[in-house]
Amino acid sequence: MPDAISIDVPPNDLEAFWMPMTANRRFKKTPMFFSAAEGMYYATPDGRRVLDAIAGLWCVNAGHCHPRIVEAIRAQAGKLDYASSFGVGHPLAFHFANRVVEIAPPGFRHLFLAGSGSEAVDSALKFALAYHRARGEGHRQRLIGRQRAYHGVGFGGLSVSGIGWQRAQFGALLPATSHLPHTHDLARNAFSRGQPAHGVEFADALEGLLFAVDPSTVAAVIVEPVAGAGGVLPPPQGYLQRLREICDRHGILLIFDEVVTGFGRLGAPFAAQALGVGPDLITCAKGMTSGTVPMGGVLISDRVHDGLSQGPEAVPELAHGYTYSGHPLACAAGLAALDVYRDEGLFERAARLAPIWEDALHGLRTLGPVRDIRNLGLLGAIEIDGGDGAPGERARACAEVCLERGVFIRALGDTLILSPPLVIDEGQIGQIVDAIGSGLRRLA
């Protein structure tokens, strides 16, 4: 890391900032900070270099502080800081949308913009409801998610999410929701490489659900093509195709939440392309600006767009939008990120590195109490036997060893999560695996 990276000193009093999704009281007793970043690395205030194995929070796909993205944001901030997209326009939002639909799957020619992944998901769910209503099927109101799904923290997204502890504090949420079973099947699929061979029939549970709730009341099924925060669960072979078929049989929209998988994570622009299944709506965020400026989006298929565009021309097609939809700084960052992805061939790089990544991760199989290793594209997970102690504590201990060894990974429950910037090289893959290996050996 060059000397230019400054060292910021955190304040003594950490009380005021109530950190999101964090055990605040615990964190503030033993805080940990990053104060600068570049490429694959974070820097701590005391000047340590830490290899970022999760791209911040699954988002910094082009690597940290990429000079082209930094410069684009800097220039835009001094030129047009803010302009609304409600009834007026600024060119960047249109340029950006054109560029995103260029790399989208066929049949997606429109992009709605939001400020985050949660907003993108809530938007997509609302679009599904509005689409059916526009076609005279307003009775289609049920939304189907999946166990172990993470769709952000808005009321809609949380209602279709399937991670119990994240919902428990908030009561009933949206009433007309149901959940498919998750696809994690250790008995048959442990240590699968890529998409597991078993489990296409988990999709048939959708028929079972529909039997119970009446298919003509269902608006949409939403799934992450690869469940991320639920533990990196690649879809069983044929599973997404089967979901698509069942949705088609019953006139139900299929939404892919690609907040994690969008923008190259699986070696193609979107998982829909990497896995060869076409949804009706695609949500994205994170890699859209390479994590630099908050932004989310919904790619809208022609089917949904045309269905929503039948009303009078003077009336908004959607009574929906955010102050920060199409924010100029986010669009500038997004355009620069797309340039970097293209010019540096980062999606292709992810595809090329995926088998090397897979071999490296699976090399950890015999070390310590490993229960499962999963991978797809540049996503990975190491599931650890939680032992007799508190759930998640062993994975946490392993992540701490990694940090001591200069590698930042994330422990989610008993699973170590990996999702590095797409600029990673083979040496750095080795460094990540070595650090995890030390952590696992210490648990053994």
Which residues of this protein are in contact with ligand PLP, per CB under 6 A? 116-118, 121, 150-152, 224, 228-229, 257, 259-260, 285
Shortest separation between residue 121's beta carbon and ligand PLP, angstroms: 5
Shortest separation between residue 116's beta carbon and ligand PLP, angstroms: 4
Shortest separation between residue 286's beta carbon and ligand PLP, angstroms: 7
Nearer to ligand PLP, 275 or 364 (CB): 275
Shortest separation between residue 18's beta carbon and ligand PLP, angstroms: 16
Nearer to ligand PLP, 227 or 364 (CB): 227
Shortest separation between residue 263's beta carbon and ligand PLP, angstroms: 13
Phi first, then psi: give them for residue 306, nearest 5 degrees.
-65, -35
Shortest separation between residue 236's beta carbon and ligand PLP, angstroms: 18
Kindly write down the DSSP assignment for every residue of 161-222, as one continuous string. ---HHHHGGGTT-SSSEEEE-----HHHHTT--SS-SS-GGGGGHHHHHHHHH-GGGEEEEE
CB atoms within 10 A of CB 80: 14
The radius of gyration computed from the CA coordinates of the chain, to the nearest angstrom, equals 22
Shortest separation between residue 224's beta carbon and ligand PLP, angstroms: 5
The angle at the Cα of 383, spanning 380 to 388, to the nearest 5 degrees, equals 160
Shortest separation between residue 283's beta carbon and ligand PLP, angstroms: 7
Inter-CA distances, 186 with 33, 199, 373, 383, Å: 35, 11, 10, 10
CB atoms within 10 A of CB 204: 14
Q: Which residue is nearest to ligand PLP (CB)?
A: 117
> Which amino acid makes up residue 204?
D
Nearer to ligand PLP, 295 or 340 (CB): 295
DSSP class of 272: H
Nearer to ligand PLP, 296 or 437 (CB): 296
Alpha carbon distance 17, 11 (integer Å): 11
The encoded tokens of residue 160 equal 């279709």
Strand ordering across the sheet containing 407-408? 36-38, 41-43, 49-52, 407-408
Nearer to ligand PLP, 259 or 409 (CB): 259
Nearer to ligand PLP, 117 or 235 (CB): 117
Nearer to ligand PLP, 122 or 414 (CB): 122
Alpha carbon distance 208, 181 (integer Å): 11
Shortest separation between residue 295's beta carbon and ligand PLP, angstroms: 9
The kind and range of the H/E element at 8 are none
Nearer to ligand PLP, 93 or 295 (CB): 295
Torsion angle of C-alpha atoms 231, 234, 239, 240, degrees rounded to 10: 100
Nearer to ligand PLP, 103 or 227 (CB): 227
Q: 3-class DSSP state for residue 367?
A: coil
| Region for 387 from its dihedrals, namely left if φ exceeds 0, alpha if ψ lies in -120 to 50, beta otherwise | left
